[in-house]
Amino acid sequence: MRKLWIILCLLLMSTLAGLGVQAATMTLDEALAVFHGDDVCVPYSDQGKAQLEAVIEAFRVALAVPPSLDETDQDAVSKFAVDVANKNIVNKLCQCYYTYADVFLTGKDQQLPVYKKGKAWGFKSLRMNPDFAATWDRIGGRDGFMTAVKAETDVAALYWTNSNWLRIAEFDIPGAVLGHIPEQSLVIADRTLELQPDYICYGSYRSLGTFWAKLPGDAFTRALIGMGQDLQKSLDYFCKVVSDPGLCPNCTDCPLDPSVNEYFENRLFFAQYYLMEESLWQNAKRVLESILADPIGTKYPLYNAVDQEKARTLLDEVNKHL
């Protein structure tokens, strides 16, 4: 089955490549075929960008999104009527907006509006579960939201909502702390880990490792939200998805699965958010070089290519400290 998905992805890429760099018109079935398992399967190129734009448009057409709908407006998207049978399409649109901004756009002006679209569709998907909406509305506020999250079962909706939300928060970290976004984000990440640990190649472990490394460590943040940067917690999560017994000596079940090395982001985030934060420059160099030494492969053609590019940039920074 895995080989069949890879073949379908490659055939789709080859077919669309002949259509030029401009975004091609896609059917819904063609757009869905761009996904390999949980991941988006397009090349890291102008052609891949055009393909992803076509996928996004195909999902918008399938949902009958009018040009007048402001997709950055969470309230407007929440009120827009979508058949519950299309919840999977809403989730994939949320994911595609995240991927498009994360991979193909740069800077706040380009990225922020797209992350806001992804977040709006993510919250739309969550509220399409009547139990989630009822719990949130009954209790209200952050407490209602977090209570609803703890009972939610849609992993994709939770994961990609959180991914977009955290990227938005990075543009205004003080505002995110004052808005108590870290606590809410942590509840989502914990819930996705509980529901499906291996989703997007054990993505919740990456998310939590990054979360604890990137939290502000100042006294004000700790007093306000009751937590701050914790690199030991970060390591505890990363050790589940990297093969590094020298740095994870107390880990009896690390990594969780030999396949974790196939998804370069596991090692990239380990190097970037733990090893470099701890000034473990030689170890960071070793891990980053291991990413560059591995073939991108056909299973994760987009993010592995992106992560190799990021690894080269990070390695330049690491070498300045050696």
pLDDT tens profile 29-74? 999 999 988 999 999 999 999 999 999 999 999 999 999 999 999 9
Per residue in 169-213, pLDDT (tens digit) is: 999 999 999 999 999 999 999 999 999 999 999 999 999 999 999
Q: Does pLDDT of 117 surpass 70?
A: yes
Specify the range with the lowest mean pLDDT, choosing from 5-19, 243-257, 293-307: 5-19
Per residue in 146-179, pLDDT (tens digit) is: 999 999 999 999 999 999 999 999 999 999 999 9
Q: Does pLDDT of 20 surpass 80?
A: no
Q: For the chain, what are the domain ranges? A: 1-62, 70-196
- Give the whole-angstrom CA distance, residue 162 versus residue 290: 29
Average pLDDT, integer, range 104-108? 97
Radius of gyration of the chain from Cα atoms? 20
Q: Does pLDDT of 24 surpass 70?
A: no
- Give the whole-angstrom CA distance, residue 313 versus residue 308: 9
| Continuous H helices in 20-106 | 28-33, 46-62, 74-79, 87-99
- Give the whole-angstrom CA distance, residue 182 versus residue 173: 10
Per residue in 278-295, pLDDT (tens digit) is: 999 999 999 999 999 999
Is the separation of the CB atoms in 256 and 203 below 8 Å?
no
Q: What is the pLDDT at residue 1?
A: 44
Q: Considering the chain, what is the average pLDDT of its residues?
A: 92
| Continuous H helices in the chain | 2-17, 28-33, 46-62, 74-79, 87-99, 107-127, 130-139, 141-149, 155-170, 173-178, 181-195, 199-214, 219-225, 231-238, 265-269, 281-293, 301-319
Q: What is the pLDDT at residue 30?
A: 96
Q: Does pLDDT of 258 surpass 90?
A: no
Residue 24 gets which letter from DSSP?
A: P
Q: Does pLDDT of 235 surpass 50?
A: yes
